[in-house]
Structure 1
Amino acid sequence: MCFEPLLPSRRWLFAGLAALVFAVARAGPAAASDELAAKLAKPGHIAMMRHALAPGTGDPANFTLGDCATQRNLSEAGRRQARRTGDFLRSVGVSEARVFSSQWCRCMDTAELLELGAVEPLPALNSFFRDRAGGPEQTRQLREKIGELDLSQPVLMVTHQVNITGLTDVFPSSGEIVVLRREADGDLAVLGTVDPRSTQ
């Protein structure tokens, strides 16, 4: 069996096709994230965002609400991540939102660095990492709050992993956004997540 040498023109053709396939493969997840995030500009949707990168787990033993020096805080990488996420959301049409946040400093800082609107502290978004027994009641309060909200404008909530998992069963990474839709019967449907890497 003999093989015909691959002519230069054919080599360029195959190289071009390979580059196109690679580009489509890379663009796929980003395009999906763009489409999902763009739903937040439509009525009836909520974004639940885990605070940006804050090295460590939990909080120091001397944790004091309102005193950032006693808390786990955003790293510089986390602050950049939050800013870039705000830029990303604006790029898909979410230029302004009603923003709620846990009272923990790393969440408030994340919410403010997004620059999507004034930040409203919401105790129902506070971490129950140290008090898992209180988690179900706090999740119920959060569901109740979401049920009362006017969702004619974008709504974004910055909180903690335990709170998001308690509400949605999703375990988000730092800076990840879970997109929800409030159904007519009040139930919350998880539409998907926006990986923070896709916003960079």
Structure 2
Amino acid sequence: MHDLGPAAHEMTRLVTGVRDDQLSDPTPCPAYTLGDLLQHVRVLAEAFTVAARKEQPAAGSEPPPPGDASLLPADWRGEIGGWLDQLVDAWADPAAWSGTTWIAGFEAPAQAVGITATNELVTHGWDVARASGQQLTLDDAALAPSKEFVAMMSGPGSDQMRGDAFGPALPVPAGASLLDEVIAGNGRDPDWSAG
């Protein structure tokens, strides 16, 4: 069990810092504009909250649809922040980390789902920061679950697990920061910039 609060609160800060005129800007996710990415963050915050509560949606757990900026509500900053707060509260319950739960169309160990949720917040927080000209600020303790996630996804036979969601892990130079290691492990170029 770990605290999703630092990564979620940093995501909220970054989302709040996005200007309306940036929603059509590119992101490190080649298929997503910044608006598409923000809508994806809103959906994943809800999905991982439901997973922490061990609730299976009435229609069943399904992989999320691609992010779509046209689906952002008028108060997207407030709504995303609200779901991120619920996410933190839900994963603060020790019961969220035990047994199994449902996410993205399958049942999985709750511990792994919680680690994945943190990695989503860290990686997409970095995406939002880079795309909007902000800086992601997390200490090594907040990045530790993402490092664990990258290790899970980088072992022998992990290509199928990476699927289309993650590019191949990229090399980083000796002495790279933990954040750069995590970002490269998620298949992103730590030197990416919008311009």
* Higher Cα radius of gyration: 1
Note whether the superposition's TM-score is higher than 0.5. Answer: no
Q: Which structure is higher in helix share?
A: 2
TM-score, length of structure 2 as denominator length: 0.27
